[in-house]
Amino acid sequence: MSCTDSYNKQSDSKQFEQRFTAYKALFVIDGRIVDTGNDEVSHSEGQGYGMLFAAHANDRVAFDSIWQWTQTVLQRPDGLFSWRYTPCATKDTACVDDPNNASDGDVLIAWALLRAAKRWNTPSYEDEARRIIQAIEEKLIVTRDGYTLLLPGESGFDNGNGVSLSSNEDGVQFNLSYWVFPALSAFSDYSEYPSIWQELFASGISLVQKARFSSHQLPSDWTRLYKGSFSTNNVIASEFGFNAVRIPLHLAWSDTFLASAERNDVLSPFAKWWSQDYVPATLSLGDEKPAEYAMTLGMRAVEQAVNNIVNDTAPDWPDINRDVDYYSASLVLLSMLAVSDISG
């Protein structure tokens, strides 16, 4: 490693730690990550992000505080996590108003525990991660129409196994941004059934290639698979938006994907979308109506991260302050973390 490389890594680490300090001050209350853009709720996704960031910042006090709150308030007997906590007077499990899980949160929390176990040589974190990984395998990974899918939650998204959908629609509804590709690769090393995770990874790449919509050929926040066909019929959100913007970041974060033959084909639609003079925050994929406001600060950070990893362009990371909401701040730190991981 050259002196310049060493300086850059130290500088990047310091920038991350500074932004995580601001993140804690703005969004962390006694281990609870507060979604300031969504009625001050907390959810498993946010807890997972907080744990990831704390581990990377080498902040064990913050990590343990966030993990203990998550474990005490959100974790279910099966090892997965209730997805939403809405503040109430008791400030405990009584505030959990939807016990269904969200698989992105489950994945993020397990991955954060694995990273923390390695950083601080704490086997108990790894044990907890293995328990979550096993629960995901048992309850959330299914095969439908030749694809290995990660269900967004245990209930309400799949009628292939006899579960009734509230929407009365056939097929499986999934969210491709829940495929956190580097985490899936990590899980294969800690599972008794590594092929499950390898198949889920490969299926995710195939889905990004095939489940494209509009003339821009972009993925939807939510997609339905029925009898081998993809649509955005009666899904939660049929736009390229705040969920799907994470897809290119998760892809570029993966060494396995970056070395694949599909890399350019898969990333090309995102690069073209970002190359516009004005990039709207979201795009309705049915009528191609764009949002009336531009990409958020966090979305721009995702673009910077992908461009840095793929094209080696220098990022200019935004600050995290009171003008930045929870999700944008999380995307900034997530983007910085991805670049740090890939750069080694």
211 and 173 in contact (C-beta within 8 Å)?
A: no
Name the burial class of residue 86, with classes exposed (0-12), middle (13-18) and buried (19+) by CB atoms within 10 angstroms of its CB: middle
DSSP 224-242: EEETTEEE-TT-S--EE-T
Is residue 104 among the annotated active site residues? yes
**Segment 22-25 long-range contacts (CB within 8 Å, at least 24 positions apart):** 22/319, 22/320, 22/321, 22/329, 23/50, 23/53, 23/320, 23/329, 23/330, 23/333, 24/59, 24/62
Closest CA to 185 of 77, 286, 259: 259
CA distance 344 to 3: 15
Q: How far apart are CA 117 and CA 217, in angstroms?
A: 39
Among 5, 35, 98, 104, the one annotated catalytic: 104
Both tokens of 303, joined, read 């673009």
**Rounded to an integer, what distance in angstroms lies between the CA atom of residue 113 and that of residue 103?**
15
Go through the chain and tell me how many residues it has. Answer: 344
* Tokens 């300090």 belong to residue: 21
CA distance 144 to 137: 15
Active site positions, annotated: 104
